[in-house]
Amino acid sequence: MKNSFQRLNIFVAFALMVFTVTGLTQLGLMLQVVELLTRYKFLPLGATYGAYMTIFAASGTRDPRYYHPVEWFAVSGVLVFMTLHAFLAEVQNLVASYDPWASAVIMVFMVVAGAILAR
């Protein structure tokens, strides 16, 4: 299991995320992006799925056989949770009741899933 996580570059994935957020903020586009994503309920879910597919397609290991079962479980768990969060008010309320910590932890899991797919 240790070998499966040695090739992850979580720091690069995190740096890219910070770069994107700060770039949007610096250019004054963050409010427009947030407004667009909150106006259309399922746009964030579709955009995240699209980003994950693009990351996987651009990765060096496009063959699912190269992924450890724990990695598949981590990525699948994040995708299932994101889908449940988009469709079920109960999941949204559960996350909101523990904010901001719950959202921060979920975001970390999403970044890790992206890093797994990017390797």
Q: For 90-114, what is each residue's pLDDT tens digit? A: 999 999 999 889 999 998 899 889 8
Average pLDDT over residues 7-16: 69
What whole-number distance in Å separates Cα of residue 70 and Cα of residue 8?
13
Q: What is the distance between the alpha carbons of residues 18 and 78, in angstroms, rounded to a whole number?
A: 20
How many of the other CB atoms lie within 10 Å of CB of 118?
21
Asked whether residue 79 carries a pLDDT value surpassing 90, the answer given is yes
- pLDDT exceeds cutoff 80 at 11: no
Band of residue 6 on the pLDDT scale cut at 50, 70, 90: low
Return all residues near 7 (Cβ < 8 A) that are at least 6 apart: 119
Which has the higher per-residue pLDDT, 118 or 73? 73
- Residues with Cβ within 8 Å of residue 52, at least 6 apart in sequence: 75, 79, 113, 114, 117
What is the model's pLDDT at position 102? 92
- Does pLDDT of 12 surpass 90? no
Residue 119 CB contacts under 8 Å (≥ 6 apart), including other chains: 7, 8, 9, 59, 60, 61
Q: Is the pLDDT of residue 54 over 80?
A: yes
* Cβ atoms within 10 Å, residue 71: 21
Q: Return the pLDDT at 78.
A: 94
- Measure Cα distances from 3 to 54, 67, 76 in Å: 24, 10, 20
